[in-house]
A and B are shown apart, each in its own frame.
Chain A
Amino acid sequence: MKFSYNWLTELSGTKKSPEELAELLLTHSFEVEEVRPYEHGLSGVVVGEVVAIAPHPNADRLRVAQVSTGEESRQIVCGAPNIAVGQKVAVVMPGTKLQNGMEIEAAEIRGASSLGMIASEEELGIGQGKEGIVVLPPDSPVGSPLATLLGLDDVIVDVKILPNRGRDALSHFGLAREISALEGRILDLPFPQERFSSEQGVRDAFTLSVEAKSACLFYAGLLFDLSTEKKSISLEMKGRMLMLGHHSLFPAVDLAQYYSLLYGQPMHVFDADKISGRSLSVRFAHPGEVLTVLSGHEITLSGEDIVIADSKGPIALAGISGGKESAVSEETKSVWVEMANFDPAVIRRSRVRHGLPTAAAYLFEHGVDPIWPAILPSSLIPSFEKTLGAQYKGGVRYQGSEEKEKRVIHFSFDRIESTLGIVIPKEKVISLLRGLSIGVEMSGEEMTLSIPSFRSDLLDEVDIIEEIGRVYGYEHISPSIPLVPLLLSEENKEEQMSRVALSECAALGFDEIMTYSFYGKEEREESGVPLDEHLRLRNPMNPDQAYMRAKLLPMLFRKMRENMYRSESLRLVERGKVFFREGAAPREEDHLALALSEKESDASEIFFRLKGMAEHLLEVLRIDTEIAFVHAKSAPSFFHPGKTAQVVVEGKVIGIIGEAHPDCMKKFGARKMAGAEFSLDAIRDLSLRPRSMRPLPKFPFVTRDISLRVPEAVTVASLEEVIRRAGPPLLKECVFFDVYEKGREKNISFRLAFGAADRTIEKTESDHAFEHIVEEAESVLGAQLSL
């Protein structure tokens, strides 16, 4: 909220400069977003007195005025109908540029010289009056700057009032009270706190019925007659409101607004003659009811909105905006001033529903002190009478639930030290609490505190500790070393494994990227995970981010494409959560995805390059059980159907690997690429074999290569399986080293090692074992020994 520095100092009596005040608030109360001198744009505008007026020789609608601006008198041509001799007016001196962009120069106007301009409110940017020139009070000193007269030589202090302090601090009086407390003074209300009652004054008011009792806690309405005398609020009050962003409208509205800035109680002013049936009700709207609000928008009400209604229907959206029909105008003769207290949550929902972020709504949402409607009339009524010349005709008051007794908090002195970790002298604590208008009664180490109504945020002991801490100053708390039991921190296997995996990927040349946790329809379809297993966002930023990702690869491939032109060789890795819908609950899994693309020359090998890296990675993660690569039955659509494998360990699928589909590649540019995605959770769950040493062989092995010609359909894995089955007891190792295809056949080669634990085997023995292997391969797979 924006505050006037002058107003704050006037109310609080602080001697601090704006910057010092900001520092004080920052360290003890609220963040100060900005401190800046108010730019009024009125330098070059001074008070002048109209000394003489003559008709313009060449224009009927213009007149030539002689205006004194102190030392000198100047001639100004003026078209305003309300100009008169003896008036004090605002003179814009030649060479001045006004806020609306208008530049005033000495000029000839239809043959008469004019040295300046006599301005209207609108031209000066200080109000909406444009019909005539501003007429200043008769006692305005001639020649003095208009800005001084309006009190605009001020500094705006923009303070971020904390959300739980709205009730006490969202007003000039409230913040001044806070400042006084910080400086050790108690600021009391400048008027007697007499309870307003309907009996007070003349009983000529409207009848009131409050039906929405749950949402309207308090309502006071005051009726004023404005017909006898019409006076405006003072220039200084106008100036202040202007600085804080409120343009002067009608005197009664202005004064109510001024009160709201001062005390934080929003008020609404109705034209009393436009209230039908002289009766008002505060009720929930009937769904579908329509109201044209002050801004001119027509809104359709819902059953959750509260309205002020007369006998014909809603005339205001309670706590947010008045209706256009019942608004005050030039013709208004009597007004109904409403000050009420509405439920913050109801106001907030209505404000959001109708998109009406008004100043009143802001205050109500933050909570307004319910005491105001009870006591403020005793200040407002005399003020209306004195300032506006209004006549008070009576009022009504509704009070919902009984006002709570003064809240009491029991507080034990030693809790300060045990929470904040510092010792504050008892006398200091007491004076500090009293400064905050909190009543203190001591008995030994215990205190009984009575909390004023405006501090609804203080509910228990710990809230009091916070008050003491912040007012005393957190800077006085010196860091101290905690004495804690020496406990071992818990092992985090997820974290450890992901670290090893990522570091190894980096060692293999992969660059780690991070992408959003959501993706769009296209990626969702590519992922191969069905729609009903995807979690969907109810309010995504845009359609491309509507689904929670169920796979990392779709986005990783997208990033490959984006990076393709940046590097000849691309290796990307991402580690992150993927999300599924499993029955009625969401499930998250930790995944790791790799993607690889290399220069054209390596492209035919791309699948095996990545497969090798993946195998390497799994070995580093100490997966030493057998890893099987089996053809994937349902692969994501961006994979080549013939070049995709599921990675299976102990019968569980832990990941998928494949070359990108040719269509996908076309989309990504000419380069081939491959990708793989693993579930780190699945890998972590694999049983890690306990390791123990195997004795080293004592006798030498005989190694021998075997090359077998097999039909095209036979896989390396199936041939290896046959060899391993046929080989024992003498076969000790079988390592693949080559495959090449020739027509409809292929040639697969392994290096075999034969041996025994207790002796050096004879050549005949290894020959025999070798032959047995060849026979088996022939009978099972139709293999022929190639020569």
Chain B
Amino acid sequence: MVKENIARIIEEGKEAFALATEEMVFAELEKKYLGRKSDLSDILKGLKDLSPEEKREAGPLANEGRLVLERAAEEARTRIASFKLASEEHIDITVPGRKPAVGHLHPITRLTHEVEDIFSTLGFSVVGGQEVETEFYNFDALNIPSDHPARDMQDTFWIDSEGLDSQYVLRTHTSSVQVRYMEAHTPPFRIVIPGRAFRNEATDASHEHTYHQFECLMVDERGKVTVAHFKHIAEMFFREFFGRDVKVRLRPSFFPFTEPSFEFDISCILCDAKGCPVCKQSGWLEIGGAGMIHQKVFEKAGYDAGKYQGFAWGFGLTRLAMMKYGVTDIRLFMDGDIRFIRQF
């Protein structure tokens, strides 16, 4: 009888604690099952009246039952306390968070970093240069003769050089760094030169007088760097940059500082070279110019004639950015409108 009673009390108690949700009810239950005057206490108190066998059986059973009930009570207490806290101090967790302001890097900066990182993994050094450059490094050192049309006022920004030690221009290309670098270094070298370049032309949706370029140079002894190598590096670069296979096409061109000279196109990344408005249905995108560095340039740098060989290529980062992000008005890059910048 006693055994059955104990078991029943434990079952009832466990269930009652599990269902308890309010402090008041809990207090009642605690009194009822675990208090001095609880049924279990009564049984324990009544043990002395039982037979030795019954005592032996019911004693441990009742003590064990008490432990079970205490655990159940503890669980209920925690649950009720937490429920109470939640209902008293409740917030609308769907209210938007207080976000620290997020700043945005300029898309040109982002791409510059990307391009630099790709070239760095290929062992190219990133080299800086001057934006205000002497006429010599911008033109003469690159074998551009003094009567070349590019030197006209309408193509080049000239610095008022009165009282200065030389004629200065705003560099019309990052190629102006070539001979400066060569004067201070001996091949082999691999470098990239990112930066601003300037052309004196009126601005509209597709023309800017200030634009960002990349120049890439790789020079070694004669015969060690060929056009085939250039093609490989160009393809590798664009594959990494666009994250897909890209074909490079070289076309004949003319630059005074390279020979042979190329225009280089890449297969259109927007239409997979199938033809679209961006590539004017040709399947190719015109990206930049390249060529094997002219021996006259090496000579200007003071290198021995015929000793070295290498390629130079330059491409417009602004143009790549327009392509990559679908920007249709080039002026947005230098306009400083946060509605544009905050998209990147």
A-side residues, CB < 8 A to B, are 26-31, 162-165, 344-345, 348-349, 352, 417-422, 462-463, 465-466, 469-470, 474-475, 477-490, 492, 494-495, 499, 502-503, 505-517, 535-541, 548, 559, 562-563, 566-567, 569-573, 575, 577, 579, 581, 584-586, 588
Contacts and interface: CB of A to CB of B under 8 A. Distances in A.
Contact-residue size bin, chain B (C-beta under 8 Å from the other chain): 35 or more
Interface in B168-184: 168, 170
Nearest to A27: B251
B12 interface: no
What 3 A-B pairs have minimum CB-CB distances, sorted nearest first? Answer: A509-B101, A421-B228, A421-B226
A474 B164 contact: no
Interface in B313-344: 333-334, 336-339, 341-342
B159 A586 contact: yes
Contacts of B120: 489
B82 to A, nearest CB: 37
B152 A480 contact: no
A486 B188 CA distance: 10
B163 A28 contact: no
B227 A421 contact: yes
B277 to A, nearest CB: 17
Interface in B60-117: 100-106, 108-109, 113, 116
B213 interface: no
A462 B295 CA distance: 9
B189 to A, nearest CB: 8
Nearest to B168: A586
B215 to A, nearest CB: 15
A162 B149 contact: no
B20 interface: no
Given A495-B116, A539-B153, A482 B233 contact: yes
Given A352-B152, A479-B231, A539-B153, A162 B190 contact: no
Contacts of A465: 260
A492 B128 contact: yes
A477 B131 contact: no
B252 A470 contact: yes
B37 interface: no
A344 B157 CA distance: 24
Contacts of B190: 484, 487, 489
B109 A502 contact: yes
Given A419-B226, A480-B226, A584-B165, A566 B106 contact: no
A196 to B, nearest CB: 30
Main secondary structure of the interface of B (DSSP, over half): mixed
10 contacts: A31-B251, A163-B254, A474-B262, A482-B218, A487-B188, A511-B338, A512-B109, A536-B159, A541-B200, A548-B132
A517 B210 contact: yes
Contacts of A569: 101
B267 interface: no
Contact of A487 (B123, B131, B235, B248): B123
A251 B233 CA distance: 58
Contacts of A517: 131, 170, 196, 198, 210
B278 interface: no
B158 A478 contact: no
B307 interface: no
B133 to A, nearest CB: 9
B295 A469 contact: no
Nearest to B145: A345
Contact of A572 (B165, B200, B336): B336
Contact of B127 (A466, A482, A492): A492
Contact of A466 (B103, B163, B164, B260): B260
Nearest to A598: B101
A469 B227 CA distance: 10
B270 interface: no
Interface string B234-277: 01000000000000111111100001111100000000000000
A537 B341 CA distance: 29
Contacts of A494: 128
Contact of A515 (B164, B225, B231, B334): B334
Contacts of A418: 222-223, 226, 309
A495 B229 contact: no
A421 B229 CA distance: 7
B231 to A, nearest CB: 4
B338 A512 contact: no
Given A348-B149, A490-B127, A562-B336, 7 more contacts: A29-B252, A163-B254, A165-B254, A419-B223, A482-B233, A572-B336, A586-B159
B71 to A, nearest CB: 42
Contacts of A563: 336-338
Contacts of B292: 419, 462
A658 B164 CA distance: 34
Given A418-B223, A495-B128, A514 B103 contact: no
B135 interface: no
Contacts of B227: 419-421, 469, 474, 477
Contacts of B100: 509
Nearest to B263: A31
Contacts of A588: 130-132
A304 to B, nearest CB: 12
Interface of B: 100-106, 108-109, 113, 116, 120, 123-128, 130-132, 147, 149, 152-153, 157-161, 163-166, 168, 170, 188-190, 196, 198, 200, 202-203, 209-210, 218, 220, 222-229, 231-233, 235, 248-254, 259-263, 292, 294-295, 309, 333-334, 336-339, 341-342
Contacts of A506: 102-105
Contact of B254 (A164, A484, A503): A164
Contact of B251 (A420, A474, A478, A490): A474
Contact of A586 (B132, B220, B334): B132
A457 to B, nearest CB: 8
A502 B341 CA distance: 14
B295 A477 contact: no
A614 B149 CA distance: 47
A55 B257 CA distance: 73
Contacts of A571: 101, 103
Nearest to B131: A577
Contacts of B259: 462-463, 466
Given A421-B229, A489-B120, A541-B200, A484 B253 contact: no
Nearest to B167: A538
A551 to B, nearest CB: 16
A516 B218 CA distance: 31
Contacts of B124: 489
Contact of B103 (A488, A511, A538): A511
Contacts of B334: 514-516
A537 B157 contact: yes
Contacts of B131: 517, 577, 579, 588
A570 B103 contact: no
Nearest to A546: B160
Given A562-B336, A585-B165, A511 B342 contact: yes
Given A559-B336, A586-B164, A539 B158 contact: yes
A12 B334 CA distance: 49
Contacts of B231: 477-480
Contacts of A487: 123, 188-190
A570 B226 CA distance: 51
B147 A535 contact: no
Contacts of B338: 511, 513, 563, 566-567, 570, 572
A632 B210 CA distance: 34
Nearest to A536: B160
Contacts of A488: 123
A739 to B, nearest CB: 26
Given A418-B223, A566-B338, A511 B104 contact: yes
A516 B225 contact: no
A155 to B, nearest CB: 18
A484 B251 contact: no
Contacts of A348: 147, 149
A307 to B, nearest CB: 20
